Structure 1
Amino acid sequence: MKHLGKNMILSIICKVIMIVTGLIVQKYVLSSFGSDINGLYSSITQFLTYLILLESGIGTASIQALYVPLAKSNWDSVSAVIAATKQQYEKICRWFLMLLVGLAFLIPCIVASQVDALTAGLLTFISGLSSVITYAFLGKYVILLTADNRIGIIYICDSVLTLLSCGLRLIAIYMNQSIIVVQSILVATAVIKSIIIFAYVKKHYKKLDLKAKPNNQAILQRWSVLVHQIAGLVVNHTDVTILTVASTLKNVSIYSVYNYIYSNIAAIINTTFSQAILATFGRLATGEQKTYNKVFKLFESFFYCILFAILSTALIMTIPFVSLYTASVADTNYILPSVALLFCICQMMNLVRVPALITINAYGWFKETKKGSIIEAVINLSVSLALLPVLGMQGLLIGTICSYLFRTQDVILFVYRKCKIGWMSLMKNLLLNFSGFLILTLAFFFWKPIIVTGWIDWMLKAVGIFVLSIVMLFLLNYVPRYKECNILAKKIYLKYEKRL
């Protein structure tokens, strides 16, 4: 548990740096290169995401396979799993590179009438090179550090290199360099990251033997994980692909601005409350079920309070943010409150299942839950394609909401049934926190929307709304359960007093 707090703090810092620098760079890309280039880059990113299917669940399956041998310091078993992972990633790297070249020829054909073919092709290839470097050199080490609860070093490395990359890309834009030069800087930072992580692992894992006999049996769960990944790609990444093919790059650009906000909010929450603590829950899952359930319920209550405070603030402050962010862009209208609302509901439906997904990952219940992920993908595609001709972008978002709604209740009920946890506490948590979210958004999104005059004004009002959200949700959670909360607070205080 000693790395838990540090990992969570580092993950928040890392994600905030990534979001802020990403927004800054995207703003200058929009103003310097226009909505078409910004939309093209978003489309390329989504197409590259499909190539990640080649990874076929190896990462998640390998992490899950490492929990027990790392807990027992069995380095022969650890080395065998990492050797198998290394072997598979080398195969993936070769296939990824071949498909990347093919994609570099395909995308210019799709956007031929909107962007120069050579620019589209080179941008595609350069954007995918970072993934090639990851599979060739970095992937196996990231898996080891994640499973061993040392993911903090990755967060530190990412934070520093992201700041460096942002500065260099802004300098390139200021010097009127092409979008190709601007994106090439990301490849250079990927190489630097690989060197740093390699040196760290070499120093701290002297017992690791990459030449050990690969234990491919240990990562057989990869195929069940792959089903989840395919479904996740369909649900989370088809909207941009559909808009690229069936609409314009300007609409893709509008979608990407709102998606950047909410996907990064989801990324912060997932990184902080999922990735950073997954190894801790993985270790707990090897112990008594009663202990796991107690920690799970405590975590779930805390998580929902923070989640709904963040989502309340996000929805209220989205339109003021977009109005400032796109003020210098005149080629299309980005102010769409209905899109902001639908994106927020999407992430709400998606993120309330995070505690349940952590449990599924901790216990390795991938095979048992893959059927629901397939149904989720089918719902998403069918509803989205049916509503696209009628509602456009909003129809795609409604399709995503419908699929999330099904899948979220599916995984939560599965985990509660499997772990033998009573579901009344869950219903109470969701009802109390959603009530607070509803009150706040009715007041400041629908009735009296927030108006801002500049970035400092926006930041001050965002902090104010977040503090108000936290206070309201804390009171809503505390007052009906003050006896339970007081008992818990006393237990935490006694534990802390003993350490002193």
Structure 2
Amino acid sequence: MRKKKLAYNTISSLILQITTIICGFILPKLILSNFGSDVNGLVNSITQFLQIFAFLDMGVGAVFQSSLYKPLADNDLIKLSEIYVSGQKFFTRLAEILLGYVIILIVSYPFFANQDFEFIYTATLIAAMSISSFAQYYFGMSNGLFLTADQRGYIQYNTQIITLILNTVSSYFLIKIGASIHVVKLVTSFIYLARPLALKIYVNKNYSINKKNRIYWRTN
């Protein structure tokens, strides 16, 4: 079983990397050629500002994942419950902090961005692009790390592959029919929103988590 999981994880990870590279070439080129360098630069700047927030993790994600190995191996459900609940609380708090960070960006960043864009234009674009980041911390982070610790990282990799492909295809068609960058990025956020929700559903279904997010049993 472990060999199968290792094979699944390895193959899924490789496919994810290839998919990420391909989509990474297609989307920026589409945005640049259809919306121009100014909009492309604005999107990249907002993306970078949102990515800065990831540093607030401060390595807790890696600690959370590594702390799950032993109780998973021992099938120590009490310890698993304690670690999972603590991790979920931490990432939920990060999601709340991210929300405040996004509000600050919405209020302040438009004044420093390219002056060719109106305040509402930049502010609404930030809001549209931040939805998936918030969902990742609020729903997906702890569940993704939990599955990786249980050698089921392929579940997370496969959902990433699917959402990357869906996002690239939908963005291509939206751009080709003349949709605004706001619509494109809003649809992107909702597609990526499905990823953490899918992980949450999977963990709840396979690990029987109650309303307090306490794990009662593992599936094989």
TM-score of the superposed pair, with normalisation by structure 2: 0.89
Corresponding residue SS for 1:166: helix
Counterpart in the other structure of 2:125? 123
Counterpart in the other structure of 2:41? 39
Listed one character per residue, the Cα deviations across residues 371-392 of structure 1 (whole Å, up to 9, x for unaligned) are: xxxxxxxxxxxxxxxxxxxxxx
Given the superposition, is the C-alpha separation of residues 123 and 212 from structure 1 closer, same or farther in structure 2, using an over 3 Å criterion? closer
Give the 5 Å matches for 1:432-447: none
Equivalent of residue 138 in structure 1, options 121, 137, 140: 140
Counterpart in the other structure of 2:176? 174
Q: Distance in 2 between matches of 1:80 and 1:211?
A: 11
Listed one character per residue, the Cα deviations across residues 316-370 of structure 1 (whole Å, up to 9, x for unaligned) are: xxxxxxxxxxxxxxxxxxxxxxxxxxxxxxxxxxxxxxxxxxxxxxxxxxxxxxx
Q: Distance in 1 between matches of 2:213 and 2:171?
A: 41
Contact 1:79 1:210 in 2 (8 A): no
Contact 1:142 1:154 in 2 (8 A): yes
Corresponding residue SS for 1:126: helix
- The structural deviation recorded for 1:138 is 1.5
Q: Which amino acid in structure 1 is aligned with residue 108 of structure 2?
A: L
Q: Distance in 1 between matches of 2:194 and 2:39?
A: 27
Listed one character per residue, the Cα deviations across residues 180-227 of structure 1 (whole Å, up to 9, x for unaligned) are: 101011221123223322222122213x567378xxxxxxxxxxxxxx
Comparing 19-28 and 146-155, the one that deviates more: 19-28
Structure ID, larger Rg:
1
Counterpart in the other structure of 2:212? 211
Q: Distance in 1 between matches of 2:200 and 2:113?
A: 39
Counterpart in the other structure of 1:12? 14
Q: Distance in 1 between matches of 2:177 and 2:41?
A: 22
**Do residues 74 (structure 1) and 80 (structure 2) align?**
no
Counterpart in the other structure of 2:104? 102
**Unaligned stretches of 5+ residues in structure 1:** 214-500
Q: Distance in 2 between matches of 1:163 and 1:185?
A: 13
Q: Which amino acid in structure 1 is aligned with residue 74 of structure 2?
A: K
Q: Which amino acid in structure 2 is aligned with residue 124 of structure 1?
A: I
**Unaligned stretches of 5+ residues in structure 2:** 215-220
> With CA pairs under 8 Å and 6+ residues apart, which has the higher RCO, 1 or 2?
2
Q: Distance in 1 between matches of 2:66 and 2:116?
A: 45
- The structural deviation recorded for 1:53 is 3.0
**Do residues 86 (structure 1) and 91 (structure 2) align?**
no
Corresponding residue SS for 1:202: helix
Corresponding residue SS for 1:129: helix
- The structural deviation recorded for 1:105 is 2.2
Corresponding residue SS for 1:211: coil
Listed one character per residue, the Cα deviations across residues 114-159 of structure 1 (whole Å, up to 9, x for unaligned) are: 4333222222222111111111111221111011110001111111
Contact 2:131 2:190 in 1 (8 A): no
Q: Distance in 2 between matches of 1:14 and 1:112?
A: 34
Corresponding residue SS for 1:12: helix
Give the % identical residues.
28
Q: In angstroms, what is the RMSD of aligned CA positions?
A: 1.8
Given the superposition, is the C-alpha separation of residues 112 and 30 from structure 1 closer, same or farther in structure 2, using an over 3 Å criterion? closer
- The structural deviation recorded for 1:171 is 1.1
Q: Distance in 2 between matches of 1:210 and 1:83?
A: 11
Listed one character per residue, the Cα deviations across residues 439-495 of structure 1 (whole Å, up to 9, x for unaligned) are: xxxxxxxxxxxxxxxxxxxxxxxxxxxxxxxxxxxxxxxxxxxxxxxxxxxxxxxxx
Listed one character per residue, the Cα deviations across residues 62-114 of structure 1 (whole Å, up to 9, x for unaligned) are: 00111111111111111110100111122221111111011122221112434
Q: Distance in 2 between matches of 1:161 and 1:108?
A: 29
Given the superposition, is the C-alpha separation of residues 34 and 209 from structure 1 closer, same or farther in structure 2, using an over 3 Å criterion? same
Listed one character per residue, the Cα deviations across residues 29-75 of structure 1 (whole Å, up to 9, x for unaligned) are: 00011111111111111111222233333211100111111111111
Listed one character per residue, the Cα deviations across residues 3-27 of structure 1 (whole Å, up to 9, x for unaligned) are: 2232111111112112212321111
Q: Distance in 1 between matches of 2:75 and 2:64?
A: 16
Q: Distance in 2 between matches of 1:56 and 1:114?
A: 36
Contact 2:42 2:114 in 1 (8 A): no
Q: Distance in 2 between matches of 1:109 and 1:171?
A: 32
TM-score of the superposed pair, with normalisation by structure 1: 0.41
Give the 5 Å matches for 1:60-459: 60-206=62-208, 208=209, 211=212
Q: Which amino acid in structure 1 is aligned with residue 187 of structure 2?
A: I
Q: Which amino acid in structure 2 is aligned with residue 202 of structure 1?
A: N
Q: Distance in 2 between matches of 1:198 and 1:90?
A: 13
Corresponding residue SS for 2:36: helix
Corresponding residue SS for 1:38: helix
Comparing 173-182 and 185-194, the one that deviates more: 185-194
Counterpart in the other structure of 1:480? none
Listed one character per residue, the Cα deviations across residues 211-259 of structure 1 (whole Å, up to 9, x for unaligned) are: 378xxxxxxxxxxxxxxxxxxxxxxxxxxxxxxxxxxxxxxxxxxxxxx
Q: Distance in 2 between matches of 1:13 and 1:171?
A: 24
